[in-house]
Amino acid sequence: MAKKPKKQTGGTPATVALTAAGVTYTVHAYDHDPAHPSYGEEAAEAMGVSPERVFKTLVADVDGALTVAVVPVAGTLDLKALATAVGGKKAAMADPALAERTTGYVRGGISPLGQRKRLPTVLDASAGAHPTICVSAGRRGLEVELSPTDLASLTEAVLAPIGRA
């Protein structure tokens, strides 16, 4: 009698997706402070990583379609550049409740990986300057470090200059 494969347990949808894809990654956990003004800057400080290597996941509405933007926490998202990167005309930040429902993650813990519904994704071109970057692993206080090439491949991301310093 053949053994059934073990079901993936533990982790988040993001880490489960990374494990299933066979990608090399490192998980970084830290104690999240709800009073901190910036989730991304808090992650960079807690991990002792340059804010240029820690990327935040933002969900925007581009011409009526939800789109994921992954940009360094050290800067901001250029909405016009995001729209251009996906062939759109106008972009605005998505309603936070809609972003949470669509991705399956809570604000401050939205990961570009393992989302409930796969959304078009744009990764800021600056990611390519680093051997590894950190993104949310799917909950506040948990980051995953991986190569930007692997992140782009797994999310089928377009690389474009969408971040502003």
- pLDDT, residue 135, reads 97
DSSP state of 52: T
Residue range 49-76, pLDDT digits in tens? 999 999 999 999 999 999 999 999 999 9
Chain centroid, CA 95 distance in Å: 17
Q: Helices in the chain by DSSP H: which ranges?
A: 13-21, 39-47, 79-85, 96-103, 148-155
Residue range 116-153, pLDDT digits in tens? 999 999 999 999 999 999 999 999 999 999 999 999 99
H or E element in which residue 149 lies: helix 148-155
